[in-house]
Amino acid sequence: MKILITGAAGFVGSNLTEALLERGHHVTGVDNLSYGELRNMDDFIDHKNFIFVNGDVCNYSLIENIKVDLLIHLASQKIPRYSNSLRTLEENQSMTKNVIRKSLADDIRLLFSSTSDVYGKNPQIPFSEESNLVLGPTNVKRWAYAVSKIYSEHLIIGNNAEHDLKYTIVRFFGSYGKNQNLTWWGGPQSGFITKAFNNEEIEVHGTGLQTRTFTYVKDTVQALVLCVEKEEVATNKIYNIASEAVEEVTIIDLAKTIWKLVNKNESEAKLNFIPYSTFGKYEDVMRRVPDISKIKAELGYASEYSLEQGLKETIEWQLKIIS
Ligand SMILES: NC(=O)c1ccc[n+]([C@@H]2O[C@H](COP(=O)([O-])OP(=O)(O)OC[C@H]3O[C@@H](n4cnc5c(N)ncnc54)[C@H](O)[C@@H]3O)[C@@H](O)[C@H]2O)c1
């Protein structure tokens, strides 16, 4: 298959591109390197079936003439924690409109990356694809990210109803691993590994009792490859992509596990609790637990990595990069 991937120099994009090239697909990757890194593409930048285009997906002419069979849209702004929400809202909306326009013009399927954050504060655990999306007030800017993804999902489904747009929407739950962004942008595990390695206090936001499930990137990629290759089943569907719900862990326990793995159990984890008020008016999601029965039943997905196995491989990669 010929595939266009936006955000190819980012974390998920680079891991997915590598896997798709290994499976014989042709990939054109687009990225403006705002958060991605050229080094993430080192392993495949010279691959004969890979083309890299450096540019902004908000600019439609950049993607207009790239002829492919499938468009995977990963480029995105994320939760505005240290910045304001305007860029998240405007850039995500602009990119979604462009990838929809492109998919309709060329009559190709659009695989859109949404987020588990859309389930928001819904207290009914676990979250299935049919669960309610429960967000907080508009003056808490962190919800702008979920809003931008929900709006994108609605735009896609509306275009399916009106113009027969073919789509697959995936909602990721905390993916981590090789090529993750080394700042908070890459998720809590990323910053925790660097702090533990430097023997510094790990910064835990809030009480640390909030829970998450984390998905090793090889499992995330396995699920995405199934969505790509099992087109007849995955078309016009929404799937959660995550590890099994039994891997639910508090952020404190995540920090302690990482400290133990990095420092070989020789000392107690040093933790520094950062109050949410540091980010202005903020709300966290206290429990985020996936129901992945749909993707297991329909596409045969089976997550293979425990949190500890995935963290060990991630730590090995990250320590090489930072040292
Ligand atoms: N990583 C996760 O755990 C996770 C969880 C939920 C949802 N997601 C979603 O999955 C997708 C991939 O996430 P990721 O973790 O790989 O993020 P990432 O930031 O590592 O990768 C996104 C890439 O898109 C690029 N990009 C951003 N804006 C662009 C623009 N206007 N034009 C061109 N390129 C642009 C960035 O430079 C970056 O390389 C995103 O849509 C994100 O919202 C990820």
Both tokens of 289, joined, read 């637990």
What would the two tokens of residue 172 be? Answer: 């990721």
42 located within any domain: yes
Domain count, the chain: 1
Indicate which CATH number applies to the domain containing 115. Answer: 3.40.50.720
Q: Which domain holds residue 37?
A: 2-176+216-243+291-304
- Rounded to the nearest whole angstrom, what is the distance from the C-alpha of residue 12 to the centroid of ligand 1? 7
Is residue 314 assigned to a domain? no
Residues in the chain: 323
- Residue for token pair 């902004």: 56
Q: Does any ligand 1 atom lie closer than 6 A to the CB of residue 115? A: yes
Is residue 207 included in any domain, yes or no?
no
- Domain for residue 210, yes or no? no
**Residue 151 domain flag:** yes
Q: How far is the C-alpha of 266 from the C-alpha of 140, rounded, in Å?
A: 40
Burial of 263 (0-12, 13-18, 19+ CB in 10 A): middle
What distance in angstroms lies between residue 253's CA and the mean position of ligand 1's atoms?
Answer: 26
CB 111 near ligand 1, within 6 Å: no
Which atom of ligand 1 is least distant from the CA of 78?
43
57: in domain: yes
pLDDT in tens, the chain (323 residues): 999 999 999 999 999 999 999 999 999 999 999 999 999 999 999 999 999 999 999 999 999 999 999 999 999 999 887 788 999 999 999 999 999 999 999 999 999 999 999 999 999 999 999 999 999 999 999 999 999 999 999 999 999 999 999 999 999 999 999 999 999 899 999 999 999 999 999 999 999 999 999 999 999 999 999 999 999 999 999 999 999 888 999 999 999 999 999 998 768 899 999 999 988 889 999 999 999 999 999 999 999 999 999 999 999 999 999 98
pLDDT value at residue 79? 86
- The answer to whether position 25 is within a domain reads yes
Give first-to-last CA distance, the chain, whole Å. Answer: 38
Ligand 1 atom closest to Cα of residue 117 = 6
Report which protein residue has its CA nearest ligand 1's atom 7. Answer: 115
**Is residue 145 annotated as part of the catalytic site, yes or no?**
yes
Q: Is the CB of 95 under 6 A from ligand 1?
A: yes
Which residue in 35, 119, 145, 176 is the catalytic one? 145
d(CA 311, ligand 1 centre) in Å: 21
Is 225 domain-assigned? Answer: yes
Q: pTM here?
A: 0.97
pLDDT of residue 119: 98
Q: To which residue do tokens 């819904």 refer?
A: 122
Q: How far apart are CA 207 and CA 205, in angstroms?
A: 7
What is the CA(71)–ligand 1 centre distance, in A? Answer: 15
